[in-house]
Amino acid sequence: MPTAICPECDEQVYVDPEFVQGDVLSCEECGEALEVVGLDPLELDPLVDDGFDEFDDDEDDGLDDFD
């Protein structure tokens, strides 16, 4: 199984060989959420929270304005 180094704790992280760029996994050692950012060589970066929640129901989507 392919491995990469966790950028947070420097431990080896086993990566499913079917993962593709953009997939997310967790470091078993420190629990950090990691994104696959490179495949050759295999590279992981901490998952960046962009502040956007696709499922945030608190925002007005404007659909109720046309009743």
Amino acid in the structure at residue 23: D
Task: Give tens-digit pLDDT for 15-52.
Answer: 999 999 999 999 999 999 999 999 999 999 999 876 66
- Does a structural domain hold residue 58? no
Q: Has residue 59 got a pLDDT over 70?
A: no
In terms of residue numbers, what domain contains 9?
A: 3-49
Amino acid in the structure at residue 28: E
Closest CA relative to residue 38, chosen from 16, 14, 12, 20: 20
- Residue pair 34/13 in contact by the 8 Å Cβ criterion: yes
- Does a structural domain hold residue 55? no
Q: Report the number of distinct structural domains present in the chain.
A: 1
- Does a structural domain hold residue 63? no
- Does a structural domain hold residue 33? yes
d(CA 63, CA 34): 35
- Residue pair 3/36 in contact by the 8 Å Cβ criterion: no
Rounded mean pLDDT of 4-23? 96
- Does a structural domain hold residue 41? yes
What CATH number is given to the structural domain containing 30? Answer: 2.20.28.160
Question: What band does 64 get if pLDDT is binned at 50, 70 and 90?
Answer: low
- Does a structural domain hold residue 18? yes
- Residue pair 8/46 in contact by the 8 Å Cβ criterion: yes
